[in-house]
Structure 1
């Protein structure tokens, strides 16, 4: 789709409630990117622009949406924003399969909002807020996000922790990830399989955290094949 020009539109009144869109309304698949950055305002949707560009070169039938959202130390506001953006994707691409692709903290949000997509891809996601708080991942990013400890706000921590769903989900993580431990994905996959949830997990021995947003990274063929397989199955089921 090299002929398509990205366009930006707001989905709310806040300056950070916007999406960048590439693709036609008759797309069969729309890939909705959710950036990471430990939920901090210094990190923006620009992180995912190389992946948007890769999708835009993927050929007819593909579209992309790059989601910006409020980063205000409120996981529930962020979740509401991502849900609103994914629902906007449904309006813009009514016949498309929505694939929510989140990296790191964006993977956390993608998993929380799984029921507003048809497929979810979580790249080195944060899945354990209590453990992340204890380990001080991101130099205390979970404490900043939640504004308290798990002992002080146990219900909030529980509500902001993703759980496996009936939505097909792919987790990808590197064993050598030094920002979000691979145990996050391992434990989430184990929990999902115990509940018979449709979860696939690919673990790479060498895949540093930021390489998961490299459009030429070694994980890309795995994700592409997984999405194609599930899209093909959906088309067969529909027919």
Structure 2
């Protein structure tokens, strides 16, 4: 296994505005990890460390960037942080295929920032804030994030809800997920079909929510094959 020395770089003045980079600019692929945790401060980028290690342990072809962001109940600020971090990745790895990999709430943010990368992999993402509010996912996490109900702030909910885009996207979810309903991901996939957006959706009968960040999970081979299938695709403008 090659040795990689992680380096940390700030992209803002707040203590939580940083990225940890493993790998170098010669990488053909760079995976940008956005962690979940229902947008709450106690959950950090360490959640994605096992996936970072998985990416870089087999050789210099791929690099990994683990993104931390402010988690203070402001969806616009969180989205801005992730977008700024991903833009920095575009500067650091202009010739690589850039893949945003987000889990749960991190999948929500990765989908919102899809235009900053070449590919998005959303692992059990939060795709329906209105539905999440009604289902009280995370014991009321959406209400905490938005500070009001959908009826009270419909425009804010609309602005913070991901929509399918022209960026090729893979959504993976478990039918047995008891934290983010798989029906929300199914609805997102139906939206994509209606819009003719490039979204591939796979569900596993048994894939618990936290198992999606297990580097040895049953979905990992699927994700790797999907990404490899896009290696020859044209890159987005790095400017």
Q: Does 1:21 align with 2:21?
A: yes
Per-residue deviation, 1:3 = 1.5
Match of 2:90 in 1: 90
Please give the residue correspondences for 1:140-219 in structure 2 after superposition, counting only pairs within 5 Å.
140-219=140-219
- Tell me how far apart the structure 2 counterparts of residues 112 and 53 of structure 1 sit (CA, whole Å): 25
Q: Does 1:225 align with 2:218?
A: no
**Any stretches of 5+ residues in structure 1 without a counterpart?**
none
Q: Does 1:34 align with 2:34?
A: yes
Match of 2:53 in 1: 53
- Tell me how far apart the structure 1 counterparts of residues 92 and 105 of structure 2 sit (CA, whole Å): 25
Per-residue deviation, 1:4 = 1.3
- Tell me how far apart the structure 1 counterparts of residues 161 and 58 of structure 2 sit (CA, whole Å): 33
- Tell me how far apart the structure 2 counterparts of residues 97 and 31 of structure 1 sit (CA, whole Å): 8
Could you list the per-position Cα deviations for residues 14-65 of structure 1 after superposition, in whole angstroms to 9, with x for gaps in the alignment? 0000000001112111000000000000100000000000011132221000
Match of 1:8 in 2: 8
- Tell me how far apart the structure 2 counterparts of residues 61 and 85 of structure 1 sit (CA, whole Å): 21
Match of 1:108 in 2: 108
Which TM-score applies when normalising by structure 1? 0.97
Per-residue deviation, 1:173 = 0.2
- Tell me how far apart the structure 2 counterparts of residues 63 and 189 of structure 1 sit (CA, whole Å): 29
Greater alpha carbon shift after TM alignment, 167-176 vs 226-235: 226-235
Give aligned pairs, total.
Answer: 235
- Tell me how far apart the structure 1 counterparts of residues 132 and 20 of structure 2 sit (CA, whole Å): 30
Q: Secondary structure at the match of 2:170?
A: strand
Which TM-score applies when normalising by structure 2? 0.97
Q: Secondary structure at the match of 1:230?
A: coil
- Tell me how far apart the structure 1 counterparts of residues 20 and 158 of structure 2 sit (CA, whole Å): 31
CA RMSD of aligned residues (A): 1.0
**Any stretches of 5+ residues in structure 2 without a counterpart?**
none
- Tell me how far apart the structure 1 counterparts of residues 232 and 202 of structure 2 sit (CA, whole Å): 20
